A and B are shown apart, each in its own frame.
Chain A
Amino acid sequence: MSFDIDVRRRMGPDSEIALRVAAGPGLTALFGRSGVGKTSVLAMVAGLLRPDAGHIRVAGETLFDAARRVDIRTAHRATALVFQDARLFPHYRVRGNLRYGMRRARGPGMSLDEMAAFLGIDHLLDRWPRTLSGGEAQRVAIGRALLSAPRVLLMDEPLAALDMPRRGEVMGLIERVRDEFALPILYVSHDRSEVDRLAGTVVEME
């Protein structure tokens, strides 16, 4: 089981997120209109937001369990998150961004140069993030996440901020990541066509 998630969290006086997901390997999509709490679910898996109750197990590892008082710290979860807005560190060049999470990398993975070649960003390594286009920035963000040797890749609407041609490019890249890395992916989107093309499992949130 790649994902075994059962969480509840009160977000405001009259809104609550309650979600149950059990999914196997591959790409699992959380699908639903915006504002339904998809991003909050990712934040809970990553440890940036604390559920009120429930548990989060990823690839056999318990990251959070309210009943058993397990709450692994964000930094130790190895749940790399790709944000909608790339969220690159503006004071590091592309190379520095890619290298940022590599410290904890366990075992032999891809080297930085191999990853850059895989993502087609080897010509961007010395650039500053603010000089990148949206699609380039998103590739770097994906590379940064993968290089941190995560146990799961969380993606929060990674295509939403891109124009049509870039969407196609990055979507192709995500397919390659899905197929070539043995990595469960939890993917949030409000776009039906995107989800249909990418996901093996779709969880609809209401």
Chain B
Amino acid sequence: MILSPDEWQIVRLSLRVSGVAVGLTLPVAFGLAYLLARGKFPGRILIDALVHLPLVLPPVVTGWLLLIGFGLRGPIGSRLHDWLGLTLIFRWTGAALAAGIMALPLMVRAIRLSIEAVDRRLEGAARTLGASGWRVFWTITVPLALPGILAGVVLGFARSIGEFGATITFVSNIPGETETLPIAIYAALQVPGSDGAVTRLALISVLLSLGALVISELLSRRAGAGRGGHVL
């Protein structure tokens, strides 16, 4: 299948936006997942609900909230601009932020489940062997939660590739800057006679999503290879 240079650019932009979105969201998602899985504090339910909000909110509302918060006059956007010289609105970085926010609930969910599944008695055993809390975290908790963390990453990536509503609301459609795959497909659908482009881009979307799911499956199989469940 031959893509035109413009179409390649759309694919590359989509991959970059999603890659940055997932890369930046992962530490946040892991932190939140850990907090929700292990933390005992008042207001947990509220944090849980807030994390899941992008999943149930109309994406256009999420985009509008980003516009208010991260726009040039927004409380966060204006400071990012003044202090760091960073503009998000109408930029690919803004598209990455929108995609990251939309991917957050899925990533937190997958990672949280895997942290909850870690046998805490193994952590206790590690401590009796002299391991510090930090070492227990990196040698027991994280490796045992790894399949879920990877699944979260791939799910988040797939979600980011498909992100449309919040993105178009927040950063609009600027070819070469914010025109990701779904936005490009939507735009092409508005132009009569661009069936070819729509078909090609849609096929790419299917391939990317399918590839992500297959990779996630392979990764979690590999992570589980040789060891199986917990020892009892």
Contact = CB atoms under 8 A, between A and B. Distances in A.
Interface of A: 46-48, 74-81, 83, 85-91, 100-101, 103-104, 128-130, 137, 144-145, 148, 154
A144 B130 contact: no
A87 B231 contact: yes
Interface residues of B, number: 23
A129 B232 CA distance: 10
Contact of B128 (A79, A103, A129, A137): A79
B218 to A, nearest CB: 18
A137 B126 CA distance: 16
Given A89-B122, A91-B143, A74 B227 contact: no
A100 B131 CA distance: 8
Contacts of B144: 90-91
Contacts of A83: 121, 125
Given A83-B121, A145-B129, A148-B129, 12 more contacts: A47-B127, A48-B127, A48-B128, A87-B121, A87-B125, A87-B231, A90-B227, A90-B229, A100-B129, A101-B131, A129-B227, A137-B231
A88 B230 CA distance: 9
Contacts of A103: 130
Contacts of B133: 75
B228 interface: yes
B140 interface: yes
Nearest to B232: A85
Nearest to A87: B125
Nearest to B230: A90
Contact of A88 (B124, B132, B231): B231
A130 B130 contact: no
